[in-house]
Structure 1
Amino acid sequence: MRTDQPVLSVVVPMYDEEDVLPMFFERMHPLLDGLGVSYELVVVDDGSRDRTAALLLEAAKDWAQLRVVRLLRNSGHQAAQSAGFQRARGEFVVTIDADLQDPPEVIAEFLATARERDVDVVYGVRSDRSSDSWAKRTTARMYYRLMCRLVGKQIPFDAGDFRLVSRRVVDAVNALPEDGRVFRLVIPWLGFPSAEVTFVRAERAAGATKYSVSKMVRLAFDGLTAFSAAPLRLATWLGLLGGGLSGLFVVAALVIKLTGRSVPGWTSTVLAVSVIGAIQLLCLGLLGEYVARLFQSSQRRPQFLVGYDSLEDPGHHTVTESVEAPARDMP
């Protein structure tokens, strides 16, 4: 394995991105070559089902700095980023998605800002969300406000996974024992000196988004439960509220009984049972989420498994042989 350390590592998680790859190569290759620094492009193929891996390995034949890391199965966007962080060797590491919504040209500004201002983190912050729907803008604002209250005010609004970090930050993140980390929360939480670079996000260059609404909700909930016990406290307060409501129902029932105005009926009973039952189920669900995280953590299963890394394979395989290599390496 080579021991030389490039100045820059660009980590790109990919999943079923064969449609956008030609445009990605067309923009990224000359841009990185023109930065004037040594670099590696670490593309983490997150168990793609299409021709993404084959196209990557074909391109790597003529692009020495392109490094292909293939996971044995689809493990998720954040897990693919974790794999990239563990494999990246650069003094600086940039994470960017393959869809070209985040402009690769900003990478040069990231580098310049990190060096001029001597910071460890440079966030790419969207300067304009007018292209998003009202619902998406509103939910995004609510998400960042909530995360700022839970994690700290150092979280920049409208900053996703497009950022530059120094080697110190990479080593600190890799040393964290937790699984299922959410990078847009973990990195600000570490507290390293940071700066921001604004940019305008474009439309996806090709293909379809891999982040459905359910995945976005899951990411938000993972971040919430990983960084705060607030949901458990919410369950406690809801339990107290339910107890208070139950007490009021009992007092009201006794007053009505003693005054002789009680009328047989089911409305009040259904209302009481529904309210208390809903609160109990919500509390049980919140408790279950935390128990599930503890259970997953106790299993100590790896977040991802790397099946192939082109840097560690000095041989010259054909595309077909390289794609099949991870299956032969499975235990």
Structure 2
Amino acid sequence: MDKLSIIVPCYNEQESIPLFYSAVQKVMKTIPDLSYEYWFVNDGSHDNTLNELHGLHQKDPEHVHFVSFSRNFGKEAALYAGLQAATGNYIVVMDVDLQDPPEFLPKMYKLIKTGEYDCIGTRRVDRKGEAKFKSFLSDMFYKVVNRISNTEIVPGARDYRMMTRQMVDAVLAMPEYNRFSKGIFSWVGFKTKYLDYHNVERVAGESDWNTWKLFKYAMDGIADFSQAPLNIAVWIGTTSFIISIIGFFAVIIRHFLDPDSSIFGWASLVCIILLLGGLQLLCIGILGKYLGRIYIQVKNRPIYIIKEKK
């Protein structure tokens, strides 16, 4: 009999957990030929998330398991921990807020069971209910990253996907500290089919992903899967150098053609210095971003630390 591992990262989701469990249980009962297990990952929550997980484990010890971190390590670390803990030959990643419709599970299993696909993913065709500015930034991110990266990231794609054990093992073989799962899922390859659906709002609680966190996450994705920022820094430096050389010769020629003319005032000089200084700082910052990621990686610290596991 096939076994499905359901990976559920949780951060301050005490209200959503019982609703999620109830909704998924109803769906799993419609797939009698499939055994299953839950792996909830408590990502250092500050509310009663851990108590809720203890209660679910006591209620259903056969199916419900959880990993609890020593502190908040982030959703990417929680997802990685869940994939490592999973024992099923099929693995699905879901958000606990029910924005990932559980009703898709039977169809996903039916499709992946055929052996034609290694992954059944999902993608939102709209962002109804979200702030327009956040939706705009998200759309721009997909356009930019797919233009500058060799790894295609499907617009609107969710982490909600069902994968074969072979694909999950390939993902786990990439133990990088700074993780961007959407990019990793695409980078490892394997044949993927996407199921479209309209945006679903959270069933309870509030999202911890504000605009600033999403922006930083997007920057991580670009840095992980593209060297375009480094190339931009090179072009900025080259362009600035060429312009300065042209300006240098222009000043010399003007001096010989009209020795009595005043050549640029102090205000122009200050602007030029600020411009070149700003460009230099920008390029140094881009280099620092990549060097910082290398520094963190070579320290070889664990991606997460487990405090409790059941």
User: How far off is 1:132 after superposition?
Assistant: 3.3
Q: Of 35, 39, 52, which aligns to 1:38?
A: 35
Which residue number corresponds to residue 56 of structure 2? Answer: 59
Q: What do the CA deviations read for 1:35-93 (whole angstroms, capped 9, x no partner)?
A: 22100011000011110000111121112311111111110010100000100111111
Which residue number corresponds to residue 162 of structure 1? Answer: 160
Which residue number corresponds to residue 251 of structure 1? Answer: 249
Which residue number corresponds to residue 46 of structure 2? Answer: 49
Structure 1: runs of 5+ lacking an equivalent: 311-331
For 1:124 and 1:264, locate their aligned partners in 2 and report how far apart those are by CA, in whole Å.
60
User: How far off is 1:206 after superposition?
Assistant: 1.5
Which residue number corresponds to residue 22 of structure 1? Answer: 18
For 1:231 and 1:76, locate their aligned partners in 2 and report how far apart those are by CA, in whole Å.
25
User: How far off is 1:251 after superposition?
Assistant: 3.1
| Coordinate RMSD, CA, aligned | 1.9
User: How far off is 1:256 after superposition?
Assistant: 4.2
Change (3 A) 1:303 1:67: same
TM-score w.r.t. structure 1 length?
A: 0.87
Which residue number corresponds to residue 277 of structure 2? Answer: 277
Q: What do the CA deviations read for 1:178-214 (whole angstroms, capped 9, x no partner)?
A: 2222110011111101111111221112211111222
Q: What do the CA deviations read for 1:110-135 (whole angstroms, capped 9, x no partner)?
A: 11221236211111011222433433
Q: Tell me, what secondary structure is at the counterpart of 2:6? A: strand
User: How far off is 1:263 after superposition?
Assistant: 5.4
User: How far off is 1:219 after superposition?
Assistant: 1.5
User: How far off is 1:24 after superposition?
Assistant: 1.8
Which residue number corresponds to residue 302 of structure 1? Answer: 302
Q: Tell me, what secondary structure is at the counterpart of 1:308? A: strand
Mapped contact 2:8–2:40 kept (Cα < 8 A): yes
For 2:63 and 2:29, locate their aligned partners in 1 and report how far apart those are by CA, in whole Å.
10
Change (3 A) 1:266 1:173: same
Q: Of 178, 182, 185, which aligns to 1:184?
A: 182
Mapped contact 1:9–1:92 kept (Cα < 8 A): yes
User: How far off is 1:301 after superposition?
Assistant: 0.3
How many residues are treated as equivalent by the alignment? 306
Which residue number corresponds to residue 94 of structure 2? Answer: 96
Mapped contact 2:178–2:293 kept (Cα < 8 A): no
Letter in 1 for 2:7: V
For 1:294 and 1:128, locate their aligned partners in 2 and report how far apart those are by CA, in whole Å.
36
Q: Tell me, what secondary structure is at the counterpart of 1:163? A: strand
Which residue number corresponds to residue 201 of structure 1? Answer: 199
Which residue number corresponds to residue 288 of structure 1? Answer: 288
TM-score w.r.t. structure 2 length?
A: 0.92
Q: Tell me, what secondary structure is at the counterpart of 1:97? A: coil
1:91-170 → structure 2 map (5 Å cutoff): 91-116=89-114, 118-152=116-150, 154-170=152-168
Q: What do the CA deviations read for 1:136-169 (whole angstroms, capped 9, x no partner)?
A: 3332222112332344464322102111111001
Q: Percent identity?
A: 32
Mapped contact 2:69–2:304 kept (Cα < 8 A): yes
Q: Of 74, 78, 85, which aligns to 1:76?
A: 74
Mapped contact 2:123–2:194 kept (Cα < 8 A): yes
Letter in 1 for 2:119: V
Structure 2: runs of 5+ lacking an equivalent: none
Which residue number corresponds to residue 86 of structure 1? Answer: 84
Change (3 A) 1:214 1:235: same
For 2:201 and 2:125, locate their aligned partners in 1 and report how far apart those are by CA, in whole Å.
15
